[in-house]
Structure 1
């Protein structure tokens, strides 16, 4: 890890932000911080972290080909933190040829073995 800015857009150095989670030093305490760290994992190509933070019931088989997208920025639209379920709406911007496009998702997170994990996208805000 370096002192470069964290990909999640927090304006903090990577080592003081998502790098703490990606290195295994600690685990996100909120669904939004988990979502931000998962975005950073996609940017940095950290496949083991993505597997670790995906609910085992919905986790697909992932390989390095899933990390070929050139992500450019993250925008958190809104988040709702619950005790056992949380929701984060975001836009993850990526490069598509000469154009920048966005993946827009409303994501469901749940507590699993006392840790937040990504479950699946939702069709609408609950």
Structure 2
């Protein structure tokens, strides 16, 4: 998988992109990078990484069945970066019953113990 394009849509090879984070070699230093790496984790079924990058106050009890969706591509629409909180608007496509669907969400990320973590989708901003 490391020679292929990264699932996050950055245009980089996986080995030089999200693999750095999913393998534990580095930790994302921006909310957008974290968002992209989390998409890669979802698309690859990396439950451990998703738990590690989710704020403990909002992290659901995920299991492997929650990762059975086939995510196909990600588009980061825009980001608003702050010192302690950041917002990432994105569209994520997935396949279900041989049909393509899209989720459009605005997500809130927060610095927690000096690392960016996913907090929640902003209410009324996802479809």
TM-score interval, smaller chain: over 0.9
Q: Identify the residue that residue 29 of structure 1 maps to in structure 2.
A: 29
Normalised to the residue count of structure 1, the TM-score between the two structures is 0.96
Shift of 1:124: 5.2
Shift of 1:98: 2.5
Normalised to the residue count of structure 2, the TM-score between the two structures is 0.95
CA distance in 2 between partners of 1:98 and 1:84 (Å): 40
Number of positions where the alignment pairs a residue of Structure 1 with one of Structure 2: 125
Shift of 1:123: 2.5
Alpha-carbon displacement from aligned partner over 1:12-37 (angstroms, at most 9, x marks no partner): 11010001000000000000000000
Shift of 1:11: 1.2
Matches within 5 A, 1:113-124: 113-123=113-123
Gaps of at least 5 residues in structure 1 are none
Alpha-carbon displacement from aligned partner over 1:51-80 (angstroms, at most 9, x marks no partner): 000000000001000100001100111111
Q: CA 1:115–1:122 in structure 2 vs 1: closer, same or farther (change >3 Å)?
A: same
CA distance in 2 between partners of 1:106 and 1:45 (Å): 22
Shift of 1:38: 0.1
Q: Identify the residue that residue 14 of structure 1 maps to in structure 2.
A: 14
Q: Identify the residue that residue 2 of structure 1 maps to in structure 2.
A: 2
Q: Identify the residue that residue 60 of structure 1 maps to in structure 2.
A: 60
CA distance in 1 between partners of 2:102 and 2:42 (Å): 14
CA distance in 1 between partners of 2:67 and 2:75 (Å): 19
Gaps of at least 5 residues in structure 2 are none
CA distance in 1 between partners of 2:69 and 2:105 (Å): 16
CA distance in 2 between partners of 1:24 and 1:42 (Å): 16
CA distance in 2 between partners of 1:24 and 1:86 (Å): 22
CA distance in 1 between partners of 2:84 and 2:90 (Å): 20
CA distance in 1 between partners of 2:32 and 2:11 (Å): 16
